[in-house]
């Protein structure tokens, strides 16, 4: 059974497999190699991918996108608060978690971002299974390199809900580097910087590649910077322009905003190849149409600050890798937003005119690399994967909270994994008999400003003056990025340990099992709906074809004029009935088809078998 690699992108998903020595990017049912990261609920149906995106303007409140910008985040985070102003769907707090509220079959549904992401992953699983003709469960899922523990775990949980055996969650630029390195068959050691700018995130990773050994030296990024932010700046400009000219606020209409955002994305793509593009949205709101020209220069002006900010992670990644820009042998561009000319210009200028490597497909490279690593992990013996080794780093610093609220860093960011590190701590109160150890990740000085992972209580301490009882704190991160923290009281056998496989506030095993059941129920409804559509279409096609036959009746046919009149009337009646009865049961349509076939038997007898 082959394994798959899935690039779960903010705006698009892509799935690939490597088997029988061949790498394949797998097309979906529309023949597209990428699938829009959209999920919608409409007319009692669940839609995923192109079908969901294409109806979004008519159904904005029940069409979900940007799940990747919500997954593993708290509802009170600044980026979530800002995004909520632009999303047409509702994001609400429920039991302390951010959930997406939609209407389906007349009922309100509250969906976690993990559930929405699981629907996209399940879609990729189905696409792969349809293409390969067999069941698929083993998968590697990619995430932004700068995702924190909670975001990574939430993505892994989404994979489990989708029915996948998640072999590993790996960083997107690392996957892209594997695709690049194995494709180029590098025979000498080189330093590669991967600049990955997608629809919603930016990652920069510096790695050392030597034949089939990939060692990440550093990574830095921004989990909330990408093509959608560039689109939004264009949208904001047009909204203000309409308000200035017509004194109308387009933001009052969710549908209008979606249409405008879709148009801006289209124009952005055109401006990567052309110097000017036409923005044309008819009757967007209150009879107003948006018709104007957008030049590449204006687009660059609107996004000048954001474009410039994409270089900061490059500087930080180089600094953490202890390399100068002159030490970089190849700068590899990945992600659809790297097609923007100004982005390429800025990166090229930063590297003093160095030629940028755009030899791998920007949209497919991450899934490509993930598929290669997935095949490697299930033991594929292909020559291409021989001796493939991947060494990653911790994207964020890990530490524990001190008595004054500061964070004591134990493992610094961009430390190679696996890694074990030690720190000494001591009691802070007289005759203390227990001590709480809280574990955080992040770069802020105060622990509370970082991401809380978990905590545990060590009891039974020897009573003594403060500072006399000392602890050895050990942090260990394994190859899968799983952190184990242990604490031992010096001079005693008193110790404690915690394995952080779940960030605080993440899904429980019960949550995941419940969502798996929900996923099966959604799937069953999808199958039921598709079956209903098939029989509806069959009845519609049969009635239409017999109607055409009856309309061409001639004397001498195998049925008489009275029969023809009755058949024609029944076909017309059936077609009219179908137009107003689109959501009945399969059995109802089957019964109707059987009845019509019986009435039309004089005609069907004469038709060639």
Catalytic positions, please?
7, 68, 172, 196
Beta-carbon contacts of 382 under 8 Å, excluding residues fewer than 6 positions away, are: 18, 21, 375
Q: Are 3 and 135 within 8 A, CB to CB?
A: no
CA distance linking residue 400 with residue 438, whole number of Å: 5
What residues form DSSP beta bridges with 196? 203, 334
Closest CA to 369 of 217, 212, 477: 212
Comparing C-alpha atoms, which of 234, 259, 170 is closest to residue 207?
170
CA nearest neighbour of 263 among 553, 509, 56, 73: 56
Cα dihedral 401, 407, 410, 415 sign:
positive
At CA 22, angle to CA 19 and CA 24, rounded to 5? Answer: 90
CA 432, CA 461: separation in Å to the nearest integer?
7
3-class DSSP state of 448 = helix
For residue 469, list its beta bridge partners: none
Which is it for the CA torsion 194, 366, 171, 272, positive or negative?
positive
Q: How far apart are CA 224 and CA 72, in angstroms?
A: 13
Instruction: Give dist(CA 329, CA 201) in Å, integer.
Output: 24
Helix (H) or strand (E) holding 246: helix 227-246
| Those residues with Cβ within 8 angstroms of residue 151's Cβ, 6 or more apart along the chain or in another chain | 71, 72, 73, 143, 144, 223
Q: How many residues does the chain have?
A: 609
Cβ-count burial 115-150 (b if 16+ within 10 Å, e if not): bbbbbbbbbbbbbbeebbeeebebbbbbbbbbbbbb
Using DSSP bridges, classify how beta strands 389-391 and 419-426 pair: parallel, antiparallel or unpaired. Answer: unpaired
Element (H, E) at 117: helix 113-132
Cβ-contact 8, 370 below 8 angstroms: no
How is 305-332 classified by DSSP, letter by letter?
HHHHHTTHHHHHHHHHHT--GGG-SEEE
End-to-end distance of the chain based on CA atoms, in angstroms? 42
Q: Could you identify the residue written with the tokens 């704190």?
A: 473
Q: Which residue has the tokens 């598929």?
A: 371
């Amino acid at each position: 059974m082959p394994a798959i690699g899935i690039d779960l992108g903010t705006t698009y998903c892509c799935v690939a497999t490597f088997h029988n020595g061949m790498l394949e990017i797998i097309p979906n049912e529309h023949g597209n190699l990428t699938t829009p990261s959209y999920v919608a609920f409409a007319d009692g149906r669940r839609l995923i991918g192109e079908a969901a995106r294409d109806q979004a303007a008519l159904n904005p409140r029940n069409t979900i996108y940007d799940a990747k910008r919500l997954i593993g985040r708290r509802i009170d985070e600044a980026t979530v608060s800002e995004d909520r102003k632009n999303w047409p769907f509702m994001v609400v707090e429920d039991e302390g978690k951010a959930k997406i509220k939609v209407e389906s079959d007349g009922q309100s549904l509250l969906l976690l971002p993990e559930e929405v992401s699981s629907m996209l992953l399940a879609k990729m699983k189905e696409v792969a299974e349809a293409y390969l003709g067999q069941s698929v469960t083993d998968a590697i899922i990619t995430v932004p390199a700068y995702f924190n523990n909670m975001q990574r775990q939430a993505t892994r949980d989404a994979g489990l809900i989708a029915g996948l055996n998640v072999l590993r969650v790996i960083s997107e630029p690392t996957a892209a580097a594997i695709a690049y390195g194995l494709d180029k068959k590098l025979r000498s050691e080189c330093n590669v910087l991967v600049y990955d700018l997608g629809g919603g995130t930016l990652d920069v990773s510096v790695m050392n590649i030597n034949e089939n050994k990939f060692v990440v030296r550093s990574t830095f990024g921004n989990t909330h910077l990408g093509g959608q932010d560039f689109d939004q700046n264009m949208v904001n400009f047009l909204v203000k322009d309409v308000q200035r000219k017509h004194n109308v606020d387009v933001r009052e209409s969710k549908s209008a905003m979606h249409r405008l955002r879709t148009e801006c994305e289209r124009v952005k793509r055109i401006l990567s190849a052309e110097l000017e593009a036409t923005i044309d949205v008819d009757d967007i709101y209150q009879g107003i149409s948006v018709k104007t020209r957008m030049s590449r220069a204006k687009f660059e002006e609107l996004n000048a600050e954001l474009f410039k900010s994409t270089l900061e992670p490059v500087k930080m990644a180089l600094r953490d890798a202890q390399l100068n820009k002159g030490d970089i042998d190849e700068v590899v561009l990945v992600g659809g937003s790297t097609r923007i000319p100004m982005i390429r210009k800025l990166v090229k200028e930063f590297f003093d005119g160095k030629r940028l490597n755009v030899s791998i497909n920007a949209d497919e490279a991450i899934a490509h690399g993930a598929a290669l690593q997935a095949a490697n992990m299930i033991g594929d013996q292909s020559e291409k994967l021989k001796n493939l080794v991947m060494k990653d780093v911790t994207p964020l610093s890990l530490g524990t909270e001190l008595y004054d609220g500061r964070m004591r860093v134990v493992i610094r960011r961009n430390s190679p994994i696996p890694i074990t590190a030690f720190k000494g701590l001591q009691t802070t109160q007289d005759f203390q008999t227990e001590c709480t150890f809280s574990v955080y990740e992040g770069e802020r000085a105060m622990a509370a400003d970082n991401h809380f992972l978990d905590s545990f209580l060590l009891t039974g301490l020897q009573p003594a003056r403060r500072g006399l009882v000392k602890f050895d704190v050990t942090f260990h991160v394994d190859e899968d990025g799983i952190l184990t923290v242990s604490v031992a009281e010096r001079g005693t056998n008193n110790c404690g340990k915690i394995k952080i496989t779940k960030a605080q506030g993440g899904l429980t095993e019960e949550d995941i099992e419940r969502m798996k059941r929900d996923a099966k129920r959604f799937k069953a409804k999808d199958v039921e709906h598709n079956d209903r559509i098939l029989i509806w279409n069959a009845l519609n096609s049969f009635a239409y074809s017999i109607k055409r036959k009856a309309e061409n009746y001639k004397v001498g046919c195998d049925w008489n004029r009275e029969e023809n009149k009755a058949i024609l009337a029944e076909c017309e009646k059936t077609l009219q009935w179908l137009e107003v009865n689109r959501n009945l049961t399969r059995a109802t349509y089957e019964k109707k088809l059987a009845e019509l076939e019986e009435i039309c038997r004089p005609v069907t007898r004469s038709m060639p078998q």
